[in-house]
Amino acid sequence: MLSTSSSPEACFALIEKEQVSFTSLVPPLLLLWLEAAPKSNHDISSLKVIQVGGAKLIPEVAKRVKPVLNVTVQQVFGMAEGLVNYTRLEDDIDTIIETQGRPISPDDELLIVDDNDVPVAKGESGHLLTRGPYTIRAYHNNPQANLRSFTEDGYYRTGDIVRLNENGYLIVQGRAGDHINRAGEKISAEEVEDHLLSHPQVFDAAVVSIPDEYLGERSCAFIIPKGEKPRAADLKKWVRERGIAEFKVPDQIVFVDAFSETAAGKISRKTLRAQLRAEIIQQAH
């Protein structure tokens, strides 16, 4: 059995030995596999599918999987409270790379609303609400949590910002708390991270909000470099030249060696954001 604590080389050796054809990874581990595979002498050609979930797989990473590992990616997006979505193996490559799939059950109901619970226009971003045959109806003996987490007509508030494409596939744009409000302009941390990850000298990136006296919040990108560390100015230029709106270009870039991770290997963005915000505020004083 492949373990999240195993090195990529150990995993490749096991795949070769046992002729593994299917496995599941969280995005940070997939990044490590993508870096290690070109240098490995193990034959992993038996591997046909890697299922990726637990955190969003950013498109710039997803599009590297087929060329580097020669496998099909299956994206999975869901929650312990119920709703599960996944891309189908027969989906076209753009759907597999750009979306997080569609519901597992035809009886799953999705509703995307604005901050006032008004449904948004088709194709627009908003808060994801859901109800269905396997999604919880309430938290046991916790009326306050139920008031926060459910609408009057029984939809569960997932806390995710998403949009639906024309084929009914979800495109997850992050948690509601991952959006940065910079002088009234909303910035998706996931979108900026995707642009940063396209840079050849960026191994991983996390964009967080930092309190700002004038803007309310400003954006700070924390970067784990790959190889020689790039200049912050060059990274900003790179993002800007990819056609992103000027207000989305990171206000600040900080280089780090690693991110905080949960036991499952997921980046704990909540913990990371709190730690880094605290450090910057402390440095400012």
Do β-strands 49-52 and 72-78 pair in parallel, antiparallel, or remain unpaired? Answer: parallel
Query: Any idea which residue has 């490995």 for tokens?
Result: 40
Q: Measured between alpha carbons, how far is 206 from 261 in angstroms, rounded to an integer?
A: 12
Tell whether 164 and 193 lie within a shared domain. Answer: no
Cα angle, residue 143 at apex, residues 142 and 147 outer, rounded to 5°: 125
Tell whether 108 and 32 lie within a shared domain. Answer: no
Tell whether 32 and 50 lie within a shared domain. Answer: yes
**Do the beta carbons of residue 276 and residue 223 sit within 8 Å?**
no
Count helices and strands (H / E) in the chain.
8, 14
Tell whether 181 and 275 lie within a shared domain. Answer: yes
- pTM for the full predicted model: 0.74
Query: Any idea which residue has 């020689």 for tokens?
Result: 228
Number of domains in the chain: 3
Tell whether 31 and 70 lie within a shared domain. Answer: yes
* 3 part of a folded domain: no
* 262 part of a folded domain: yes
Task: Dump pLDDT digits (tens) for 167-222.
Answer: 999 999 877 767 788 887 888 888 898 899 999 999 999 888 887 767 878 899 99
Range of the domain at 261: 177-284
Tokens of 123: 């194709």
Alpha helices in the chain, H assignment, sequence order: 8-18, 27-36, 59-69, 93-98, 143-149, 189-197, 232-241, 269-284
* 1 part of a folded domain: no
Task: Dump pLDDT digits (tens) for 227-247.
Answer: 899 999 999 999 999 999 999
Q: What is the mean pLDDT of residues 67-92?
A: 96
Measure Cα distances from 19 to 11, 12, 42, 268 in Å. 11, 10, 11, 33
